[in-house]
Structure 1
């Protein structure tokens, strides 16, 4: 939470973070912010959202988004939901973030999808986000709301949150000069191929 507030990715008590811990979900409590969050305040839930331990805090309003993602995606170990400014601004158009930049491919597909609008804290919103992520996407926008990123670790989910906010900002800047040129299917296919070598000592020529 402190990192996100310091980098302007969250404001006040908006947004929430969770990690999978065996059969439980450990999630930030409702109203949490960096200044008042302690390890003792983290809330433990089972996959149905029932409290696992006693405590004074209640889970984030959006707890169902987290448990539904964990239910649908066994490889996901952490979920970040943020109200980062540029992601929120872009989400208000109710459209995916298109492939204006090759780094879009790092989120699992040829765009970053946008989950359809549903009321905050509702089961319908949790289902919409899980549907938008599908089996392969690592992040999505949430129409007129914000964004969600998932990862095999909290570090990965956090890094993807930062990356998506950066790309959303760059796309909005590019739009000020006109409609950006989007990468073609062939160009994206090559980007995905090269991402397969990402982190290796040599990239294909």
Structure 2
């Protein structure tokens, strides 16, 4: 399935900036460590490298091609542009890629632990767990390959010794998924204190996946699940 690209307008660019500011305000990220991109008709819009979110303006967003390296003239795109590009190619149904270093997700990432089906909202990420992507140097081809392979049928993942990445049909949906992923990471970590969480079975998760098909407002393509 292919979803139409987002329009390359000032409103779209501002929405990307707003999402970056929101994830910092909600303690889902710190400083300039996260990044966001959106597939548009002419390629991929992505946040520039090393610019504080409060200093961003719509005309500072960088356009990179869907194939090949960015132009070396002009603003420098986020250092994570290679895996954003890889995910946009692998998932034409998801026009938005959002990456950050949420605290609880990052704890699990450095422990190299996926999130099992400790809560039914795991289904919001396309499977029976939130997978862990193997470690590779940021910006490397290995990381691109690892991300694309894991995210083929998933909407979110943890990245070993790194952070988390989610996909979205819209900017708002991607930000919602990031916040939900951090909540799940916190729930899973806390549930291991003084005991062990009960993990939902494959049969129980299958029921959840069916129920999720009708979750959200009627005729609303931007519903959260």
SS of the aligned residue for 1:92 comes to helix
Q: Secondary structure at the match of 1:48?
A: coil
Partner of 2:175: 158
* Alpha carbons 1:80, 1:148 under 8 Å: kept: yes
After TM superposition, the structure 1 = structure 2 runs for residues 1-205 of structure 1, keeping only pairs within 5 Å, are 1-51=20-70, 55=74, 57-134=75-152, 136-199=153-216
State the TM-score, normalized to the length of structure 2: 0.84
Give the Å deviation of 1:74.
1.1
**Contiguous gaps of at least 5 residues in structure 1:** none
Shift of 1:119: 0.9
Aligned length: 199
Question: Are the structure 2 counterparts of residues 193 and 128 from structure 1 closer, same or farther at C-alpha, using a change threshold of 3 Å?
Answer: same
CA RMSD of aligned residues (A): 1.5
Render the CA deviation track for 1:48-87: whole Å, top value 9, x for unaligned: 35446953x2000000111101111111100000011111
2-structure distance, mates of 1:88, 1:64:
21
Residue pair 1:64, 1:121 contacting (<8 A) in 2 also: yes
Residues 1-45 of structure 1: per-residue CA shift (max 9 Å, x gap): 110110011111101000111141000011132222111211000
Whether contact under 8 Å (1:82, 1:148) holds in the other structure is yes
Q: Secondary structure at the match of 1:17?
A: strand
The two structures have a TM-score, normalised by structure 1, of 0.92
Q: Label 1:7 to 1:200 Cα distance change in 2 as closer, same or farther (>3 A).
A: closer
Whole-Å separation in 2 of the counterparts to 1:35 and 1:60: 16
Q: Secondary structure at the match of 1:59?
A: coil
Structure 2 residues not aligned, in runs of 5+: 1-19, 219-225
